[in-house]
Protein backbone atom coordinates (compact mmCIF):
# COMPACT_ATOMS: atom_id res chain seq x y z
CA UNK A 1 0.00 0.00 0.00
CA UNK A 2 1.44 3.38 -1.04
CA UNK A 3 1.18 6.55 0.94
CA UNK A 4 -1.37 8.93 -0.54
CA UNK A 5 -1.59 12.70 -0.72
CA UNK A 6 -3.60 12.42 2.50
CA UNK A 7 -1.58 10.05 4.72
CA UNK A 8 -3.15 8.50 7.77
CA UNK A 9 -2.21 9.55 11.29
CA UNK A 10 -0.07 6.40 11.65
CA UNK A 11 1.78 7.26 8.45
CA UNK A 12 2.34 10.82 9.63
CA UNK A 13 3.70 9.52 12.93
CA UNK A 14 6.07 7.21 11.07
CA UNK A 15 7.27 10.08 8.91
CA UNK A 16 7.91 12.16 12.01
CA UNK A 17 9.73 9.22 13.63
CA UNK A 18 12.02 8.88 10.60
CA UNK A 19 12.76 12.61 10.48
CA UNK A 20 13.52 12.66 14.21
CA UNK A 21 15.72 9.55 13.99
CA UNK A 22 17.58 11.05 11.03
CA UNK A 23 18.40 14.15 13.05
CA UNK A 24 19.51 12.13 16.08
CA UNK A 25 21.76 9.86 14.02
CA UNK A 26 23.40 12.87 12.38
CA UNK A 27 23.92 14.40 15.82
CA UNK A 28 25.54 11.20 17.13
CA UNK A 29 27.84 10.95 14.09
CA UNK A 30 28.73 14.62 14.55
CA UNK A 31 30.20 13.79 17.98
CA UNK A 32 32.93 11.77 16.29
CA UNK A 33 33.09 12.85 12.64
CA UNK A 34 33.61 16.57 12.09
CA UNK A 35 32.17 17.98 8.87
CA UNK A 36 31.38 15.67 5.92
CA UNK A 37 27.67 16.56 6.22
CA UNK A 38 26.92 15.65 2.60
CA UNK A 39 28.67 12.28 2.97
CA UNK A 40 26.73 11.50 6.16
CA UNK A 41 23.43 12.40 4.50
CA UNK A 42 24.14 10.22 1.45
CA UNK A 43 25.18 7.30 3.66
CA UNK A 44 21.92 7.53 5.59
CA UNK A 45 19.91 7.81 2.37
CA UNK A 46 21.48 4.55 1.21
CA UNK A 47 20.79 2.86 4.55
CA UNK A 48 17.12 3.83 4.59
CA UNK A 49 16.75 2.85 0.92
CA UNK A 50 18.33 -0.58 1.61
CA UNK A 51 21.28 0.16 -0.68
CA UNK A 52 25.03 -0.37 -0.55
CA UNK A 53 27.50 2.50 -0.69
CA UNK A 54 31.02 2.98 -2.08
CA UNK A 55 33.07 5.74 -0.46
CA UNK A 56 36.05 7.08 -2.37
CA UNK A 57 38.62 9.42 -0.84
CA UNK A 58 42.27 9.81 0.01
CA UNK A 59 43.55 8.30 3.28
CA UNK A 60 42.88 10.13 6.52
CA UNK A 61 39.41 11.50 5.78
CA UNK A 62 37.63 9.36 8.43
CA UNK A 63 35.92 6.99 5.99
CA UNK A 64 36.42 3.94 8.23
CA UNK A 65 35.60 5.93 11.37
CA UNK A 66 32.40 7.19 9.78
CA UNK A 67 31.17 3.69 8.91
CA UNK A 68 32.01 2.18 12.30
CA UNK A 69 30.35 5.09 14.12
CA UNK A 70 27.26 4.73 11.95
CA UNK A 71 27.01 1.06 12.95
CA UNK A 72 27.22 2.03 16.64
CA UNK A 73 24.50 4.65 16.25
CA UNK A 74 22.22 2.05 14.64
CA UNK A 75 22.89 -0.75 17.16
CA UNK A 76 23.75 -3.17 14.37
CA UNK A 77 26.34 -5.93 14.18
CA UNK A 78 29.40 -4.55 12.44
CA UNK A 79 32.33 -6.36 10.83
CA UNK A 80 35.32 -4.86 9.08
CA UNK A 81 37.14 -6.75 6.34
CA UNK A 82 40.55 -5.41 5.39
CA UNK A 83 40.92 -6.21 1.69
CA UNK A 84 44.46 -7.26 0.74
CA UNK A 85 45.97 -8.96 -2.34
CA UNK A 86 46.12 -12.34 -0.55
CA UNK A 87 42.51 -12.28 0.69
CA UNK A 88 40.53 -15.32 -0.48
CA UNK A 89 36.76 -15.56 -1.14
CA UNK A 90 36.36 -17.98 1.79
CA UNK A 91 37.93 -15.37 4.07
CA UNK A 92 34.82 -13.28 3.37
CA UNK A 93 31.96 -15.74 3.02
CA UNK A 94 33.12 -18.53 5.32
CA UNK A 95 34.03 -22.16 4.72
CA UNK A 96 33.01 -25.73 5.47
CA UNK A 97 35.22 -27.57 7.97
CA UNK A 98 35.39 -31.14 9.19
CA UNK A 99 33.98 -31.32 12.72
CA UNK A 100 34.82 -34.30 14.96
CA UNK A 101 33.86 -32.72 18.29
CA UNK A 102 30.69 -34.82 18.63
CA UNK A 103 32.54 -38.09 18.22
CA UNK A 104 31.62 -38.54 14.60
CA UNK A 105 32.93 -36.92 11.47
CA UNK A 106 30.66 -34.24 10.07
CA UNK A 107 30.97 -31.09 7.98
CA UNK A 108 30.06 -27.79 9.58
CA UNK A 109 29.78 -24.35 8.01
CA UNK A 110 31.80 -21.63 9.72
CA UNK A 111 30.42 -18.21 8.92
CA UNK A 112 32.73 -15.53 7.57
CA UNK A 113 32.69 -11.82 8.44
CA UNK A 114 30.10 -11.15 5.72
CA UNK A 115 27.50 -12.37 8.24
CA UNK A 116 26.82 -9.01 9.86
CA UNK A 117 24.37 -6.15 9.43
CA UNK A 118 26.96 -3.62 8.30
CA UNK A 119 30.07 -4.90 6.55
CA UNK A 120 32.93 -2.49 5.92
CA UNK A 121 34.91 -3.61 2.88
CA UNK A 122 37.98 -1.50 3.58
CA UNK A 123 40.12 -0.68 0.52
CA UNK A 124 38.02 -2.98 -1.63
CA UNK A 125 40.15 -2.31 -4.71
CA UNK A 126 43.24 -3.89 -3.10
CA UNK A 127 42.03 -7.44 -3.65
CA UNK A 128 41.84 -9.37 -6.96
CA UNK A 129 38.57 -9.60 -8.92
CA UNK A 130 38.02 -13.23 -7.83
CA UNK A 131 37.77 -12.11 -4.21
CA UNK A 132 35.81 -8.97 -5.05
CA UNK A 133 33.28 -11.23 -6.79
CA UNK A 134 32.60 -13.00 -3.50
CA UNK A 135 30.52 -9.96 -2.59
CA UNK A 136 28.31 -10.04 -5.68
CA UNK A 137 25.81 -12.65 -4.51
CA UNK A 138 25.76 -11.24 -0.99
CA UNK A 139 25.03 -7.69 -2.19
CA UNK A 140 22.35 -8.68 -4.68
CA UNK A 141 20.65 -11.70 -3.11
CA UNK A 142 21.43 -11.13 0.59
CA UNK A 143 22.78 -14.69 0.79
CA UNK A 144 25.93 -16.73 0.15
CA UNK A 145 26.12 -20.18 -1.42
CA UNK A 146 28.75 -22.55 -0.06
CA UNK A 147 28.98 -26.17 -1.14
CA UNK A 148 25.62 -25.94 -2.90
CA UNK A 149 23.83 -24.73 0.24
CA UNK A 150 22.37 -21.25 0.58
CA UNK A 151 22.99 -19.32 3.77
CA UNK A 152 20.82 -16.19 4.24
CA UNK A 153 22.52 -13.08 5.57
CA UNK A 154 21.12 -11.19 8.57
CA UNK A 155 18.65 -8.40 7.92
CA UNK A 156 19.19 -5.55 7.50
CA UNK A 157 22.37 -6.02 5.48
CA UNK A 158 24.62 -3.35 3.99
CA UNK A 159 28.03 -3.33 2.36
CA UNK A 160 29.85 -0.03 2.82
CA UNK A 161 33.13 -0.10 0.90
CA UNK A 162 36.05 2.31 0.72
CA UNK A 163 38.72 2.85 -1.89
CA UNK A 164 41.66 5.17 -2.42
CA UNK A 165 41.48 7.02 -5.78
CA UNK A 166 45.12 8.14 -6.03
CA UNK A 167 47.23 5.09 -5.25
CA UNK A 168 47.18 2.67 -8.20
CA UNK A 169 50.05 0.31 -7.33
CA UNK A 170 48.73 -2.98 -5.99
CA UNK A 171 45.10 -2.14 -6.74
CA UNK A 172 42.47 -3.75 -8.96
CA UNK A 173 39.77 -1.64 -10.60
CA UNK A 174 36.28 -2.72 -9.59
CA UNK A 175 34.46 -4.33 -12.55
CA UNK A 176 31.38 -2.49 -13.81
CA UNK A 177 29.12 -5.33 -12.61
CA UNK A 178 30.54 -4.92 -9.11
CA UNK A 179 30.19 -1.14 -9.13
CA UNK A 180 26.60 -1.42 -10.35
CA UNK A 181 25.65 -3.26 -7.13
CA UNK A 182 26.42 -0.09 -5.16
CA UNK A 183 23.51 2.30 -4.93
CA UNK A 184 25.76 5.32 -4.31
CA UNK A 185 29.32 6.22 -5.05
CA UNK A 186 30.19 8.98 -2.59
CA UNK A 187 33.24 11.22 -2.85
CA UNK A 188 34.78 12.05 0.53
CA UNK A 189 36.54 15.40 0.16
CA UNK A 190 38.99 17.37 2.26
CA UNK A 191 37.46 19.30 5.17
CA UNK A 192 37.18 23.07 5.19
CA UNK A 193 39.72 25.16 7.13
CA UNK A 194 37.45 25.52 10.16
CA UNK A 195 36.53 21.83 10.12
CA UNK A 196 40.17 20.79 9.92
CA UNK A 197 40.98 23.10 12.83
CA UNK A 198 38.34 21.32 14.92
CA UNK A 199 39.68 17.92 13.81
CA UNK A 200 43.19 18.90 14.89
CA UNK A 201 41.93 20.24 18.23
CA UNK A 202 39.66 17.33 19.15
CA UNK A 203 41.80 14.43 17.96
CA UNK A 204 44.90 15.60 19.83
CA UNK A 205 43.10 15.82 23.18
CA UNK A 206 42.06 13.03 25.54
CA UNK A 207 38.35 13.59 24.86
CA UNK A 208 36.47 10.42 23.89
CA UNK A 209 32.95 10.90 22.55
CA UNK A 210 30.24 8.47 23.58
CA UNK A 211 27.94 7.50 20.73
CA UNK A 212 24.39 6.52 21.70
CA UNK A 213 22.41 3.96 19.73
CA UNK A 214 19.39 5.57 18.08
CA UNK A 215 17.79 2.68 16.18
CA UNK A 216 17.98 -1.10 16.24
CA UNK A 217 17.60 -3.42 13.27
CA UNK A 218 14.01 -4.06 14.33
CA UNK A 219 13.33 -0.30 14.36
CA UNK A 220 15.01 0.25 11.01
CA UNK A 221 13.14 -2.37 8.96
CA UNK A 222 9.63 -0.78 9.06
CA UNK A 223 11.15 2.61 8.26
CA UNK A 224 12.82 1.11 5.19
CA UNK A 225 9.44 -0.26 4.10
CA UNK A 226 7.96 3.21 4.62
CA UNK A 227 10.47 4.63 2.13
CA UNK A 228 9.28 2.22 -0.56
CA UNK A 229 5.63 3.10 0.09
CA UNK A 230 6.17 6.78 -0.71
CA UNK A 231 4.51 7.57 -4.07
CA UNK A 232 6.47 9.01 -6.97
CA UNK A 233 4.25 11.02 -9.36
CA UNK A 234 4.43 9.94 -13.03
CA UNK A 235 6.26 13.09 -14.14
CA UNK A 236 8.99 12.39 -11.55
CA UNK A 237 9.43 8.81 -12.78
CA UNK A 238 9.62 10.03 -16.38
CA UNK A 239 12.15 12.68 -15.40
CA UNK A 240 14.35 9.97 -13.86
CA UNK A 241 13.89 7.87 -17.00
CA UNK A 242 14.89 10.78 -19.26
CA UNK A 243 18.05 11.38 -17.26
CA UNK A 244 19.14 7.74 -17.35
CA UNK A 245 18.15 7.00 -20.94
CA UNK A 246 19.94 10.17 -22.06
CA UNK A 247 23.24 8.66 -20.89
CA UNK A 248 22.97 5.71 -23.29
CA UNK A 249 25.08 6.57 -26.30
CA UNK A 250 23.56 3.85 -28.47
CA UNK A 251 19.93 4.95 -28.00
CA UNK A 252 18.38 6.11 -31.28
CA UNK A 253 16.49 9.10 -29.88
CA UNK A 254 16.73 11.63 -27.09
CA UNK A 255 20.49 11.46 -26.49
CA UNK A 256 22.21 14.88 -26.26
CA UNK A 257 25.12 15.47 -28.59
CA UNK A 258 27.57 16.05 -25.72
CA UNK A 259 26.73 12.58 -24.37
CA UNK A 260 27.54 11.00 -27.74
CA UNK A 261 30.80 12.95 -27.76
CA UNK A 262 31.99 12.29 -24.19
CA UNK A 263 30.42 9.04 -22.99
CA UNK A 264 31.41 5.51 -23.95
CA UNK A 265 28.75 3.71 -21.90
CA UNK A 266 25.67 4.82 -19.98
CA UNK A 267 23.59 3.67 -17.05
CA UNK A 268 21.46 0.54 -16.97
CA UNK A 269 18.01 0.13 -15.39
CA UNK A 270 19.44 0.10 -11.86
CA UNK A 271 20.17 3.78 -12.37
CA UNK A 272 16.45 4.57 -12.59
CA UNK A 273 15.62 2.30 -9.66
CA UNK A 274 18.24 3.86 -7.42
CA UNK A 275 17.36 7.42 -8.47
CA UNK A 276 13.79 6.81 -7.35
CA UNK A 277 14.74 4.97 -4.14
CA UNK A 278 17.27 7.64 -3.22
CA UNK A 279 14.72 10.36 -3.90
CA UNK A 280 12.09 8.54 -1.82
CA UNK A 281 14.54 8.16 1.08
CA UNK A 282 15.36 11.87 0.89
CA UNK A 283 11.65 12.66 0.90
CA UNK A 284 11.00 10.59 4.02
CA UNK A 285 14.09 11.77 5.90
CA UNK A 286 12.86 15.32 5.41
CA UNK A 287 9.40 14.48 6.74
CA UNK A 288 7.56 14.65 3.42
CA UNK A 289 5.48 12.04 1.59
CA UNK A 290 5.63 12.94 -2.10
CA UNK A 291 8.74 12.82 -4.26
CA UNK A 292 9.68 15.86 -6.36
CA UNK A 293 12.12 16.36 -9.20
CA UNK A 294 14.36 18.25 -6.75
CA UNK A 295 14.74 14.99 -4.81
CA UNK A 296 15.85 13.27 -8.03
CA UNK A 297 18.36 16.03 -8.76
CA UNK A 298 19.83 15.73 -5.26
CA UNK A 299 20.86 12.10 -5.81
CA UNK A 300 21.85 12.16 -9.49
CA UNK A 301 25.60 12.42 -8.86
CA UNK A 302 26.04 9.65 -6.26
CA UNK A 303 23.72 7.32 -8.22
CA UNK A 304 25.07 7.87 -11.75
CA UNK A 305 28.73 8.85 -11.36
CA UNK A 306 29.85 5.18 -11.39
CA UNK A 307 27.33 4.16 -14.06
CA UNK A 308 28.31 6.69 -16.73
CA UNK A 309 31.71 5.92 -18.26
CA UNK A 310 33.53 8.86 -19.92
CA UNK A 311 35.62 8.23 -23.04
CA UNK A 312 39.01 9.53 -24.14
CA UNK A 313 37.46 12.62 -25.74
CA UNK A 314 36.01 13.60 -22.37
CA UNK A 315 39.37 13.15 -20.67
CA UNK A 316 41.02 15.29 -23.34
CA UNK A 317 38.41 18.02 -22.86
CA UNK A 318 38.86 17.98 -19.07
CA UNK A 319 35.37 16.55 -18.54
CA UNK A 320 34.87 14.06 -15.72
CA UNK A 321 31.65 12.22 -14.93
CA UNK A 322 30.39 14.81 -12.44
CA UNK A 323 30.81 17.61 -15.00
CA UNK A 324 28.96 15.55 -17.59
CA UNK A 325 26.13 14.98 -15.12
CA UNK A 326 26.04 18.71 -14.36
CA UNK A 327 25.53 19.35 -18.06
CA UNK A 328 22.90 16.62 -18.27
CA UNK A 329 20.90 18.18 -15.42
CA UNK A 330 21.14 21.57 -17.09
CA UNK A 331 19.84 20.33 -20.44
CA UNK A 332 17.19 17.82 -19.31
CA UNK A 333 13.76 19.43 -18.80
CA UNK A 334 11.61 18.30 -15.90
CA UNK A 335 8.76 18.02 -18.39
CA UNK A 336 9.45 17.78 -22.11
CA UNK A 337 8.31 21.04 -23.73
CA UNK A 338 7.57 19.65 -27.20
CA UNK A 339 6.18 16.18 -27.76
CA UNK A 340 6.98 16.45 -31.48
CA UNK A 341 10.70 16.06 -30.83
CA UNK A 342 10.43 13.69 -27.90
CA UNK A 343 11.41 10.05 -28.33
CA UNK A 344 8.64 7.47 -28.66
CA UNK A 345 8.55 6.53 -24.97
CA UNK A 346 8.21 10.24 -24.04
CA UNK A 347 5.50 10.95 -26.63
CA UNK A 348 3.44 8.10 -25.19
CA UNK A 349 3.69 9.67 -21.74
CA UNK A 350 2.76 13.14 -23.01
CA UNK A 351 -0.28 11.69 -24.76
CA UNK A 352 -1.42 9.78 -21.65
CA UNK A 353 0.18 11.47 -18.58
- pLDDT, tens digit (0-9, with 9 covering 90-100), for 191-216: 889 989 988 888 888 877 788 888 88
Question: Which DSSP letter does residue 341 get?
Answer: T
Q: Is the pLDDT of residue 8 over 90?
A: no
Q: Which residue has the higher pLDDT, 148 or 181?
A: 181
On whether both 320 and 188 belong to a single domain, the answer is no
In a domain, 2, yes or no: no
Looking at the fold, whether 66 and 189 belong to one and the same domain comes out as yes
Residue 257 has pLDDT above 60, yes or no: yes
Concatenate the DSSP letters of all residues of 264-275 into one string.
Answer: EE---HHHHHHH
Query: Do residues 209 and 236 both lie within one domain?
Result: no
Decide which of 216, 242, 272 is a domain's last residue.
216
Calculate the average pLDDT of the chain: 85
Same domain, 168 and 240: no
Q: 291 and 143, same structural domain?
A: no
Distance of alpha carbon 35 from alpha carbon 304, whole angstroms? 24
Domain count, the chain: 2
Which segment, 122-136, 156-170, 260-274, is predicted with the most confidence on average?
Answer: 260-274
In a domain, 98, yes or no: yes
Contact 162, 208 (CB under 8 A): no
* Contact predicate 49/227, CB 8 Å: yes
Bridge partners for 97 per DSSP: 108
Asked if residue 344 and residue 315 are part of one domain, the reply reads yes
Same domain, 37 and 92: yes
The answer on pLDDT for 352 being more than 70 is no
Q: Confirm if 158 and 71 have CB atoms less than 8 A apart.
A: no
Interval 106-121 mean pLDDT? 89
Q: Whole-angstrom Cα distance, residue 21 to residue 41?
A: 13
Task: Note the pLDDT tens digit of each residue in 286-300.
Answer: 888 889 999 999 999
Residue 85 included in any domain: yes
The residue among 216, 247, 281 that closes a domain is 216
Same domain for 120 and 266? no
Q: Which residue has the higher pLDDT, 243 or 221?
A: 243
Last residue of a domain, which of 157, 185, 216?
216
212 in the same domain as 180: yes
Task: State percent of the chain over pLDDT 90.
Answer: 39
pLDDT of 21-64, one tens digit each?
Answer: 888 888 888 888 888 889 999 999 999 999 999 999 888 888 88
Which long-range contacts (C-beta less than 8 Å, at least 24 apart) are formed by 330-335?
331/256, 331/258, 332/239, 332/242, 332/243, 332/246, 333/242, 334/235, 334/239, 334/293, 335/235, 335/239
Q: Residue 270 sits in a domain of what CATH number?
A: 1.10.8.80
Residue 77 forms part of a structural domain: yes
Residue 21 domain flag? yes
- pLDDT for position 168: 63
* DSSP state, residue 125: G
In our burial notation (b when 16+ CB lie closer than 10 A, e otherwise), range 142-165 reads eebebeeeebebeebbbbbbbbee
Is residue 204 included in any domain, yes or no? yes
What is the structure's pLDDT at 167?
63
Same-domain status, 147 and 296:
no
Query: Can you tell me the distance from the alpha carbon of 243 to that of 235, in angstroms, rounded to the nearest whole number?
Result: 12
**Which residue segment(s) compose the domain that 270 sits in?**
230-351
Confidence of residue 339 (pLDDT cuts 50, 70, 90): very low
Q: Looking at the predicted structure, is the pLDDT value of residue 175 above 70?
A: yes
Q: Are residues 105 and 209 in the same domain?
A: yes
Is 126 found in the same domain as 22?
yes
With respect to residue 283, please indicate whether it lies within any of the assigned structural domains.
yes
Question: How far apart are the C-alpha atoms of 312 and 245, rounded to whole Å?
Answer: 21
Domain-embedded: residue 222: no
Amino acid sequence: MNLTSDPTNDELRQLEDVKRAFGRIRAELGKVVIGQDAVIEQLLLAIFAQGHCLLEGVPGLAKTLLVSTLARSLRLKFNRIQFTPDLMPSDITGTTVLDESSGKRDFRFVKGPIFANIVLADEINRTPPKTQAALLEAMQERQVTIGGRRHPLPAPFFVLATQNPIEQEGTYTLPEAQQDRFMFKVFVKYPSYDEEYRVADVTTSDHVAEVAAVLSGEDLTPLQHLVRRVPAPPHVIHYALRLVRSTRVHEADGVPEFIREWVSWGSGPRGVQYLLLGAKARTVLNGRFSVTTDDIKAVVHPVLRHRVIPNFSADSAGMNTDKILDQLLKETPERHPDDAIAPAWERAFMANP
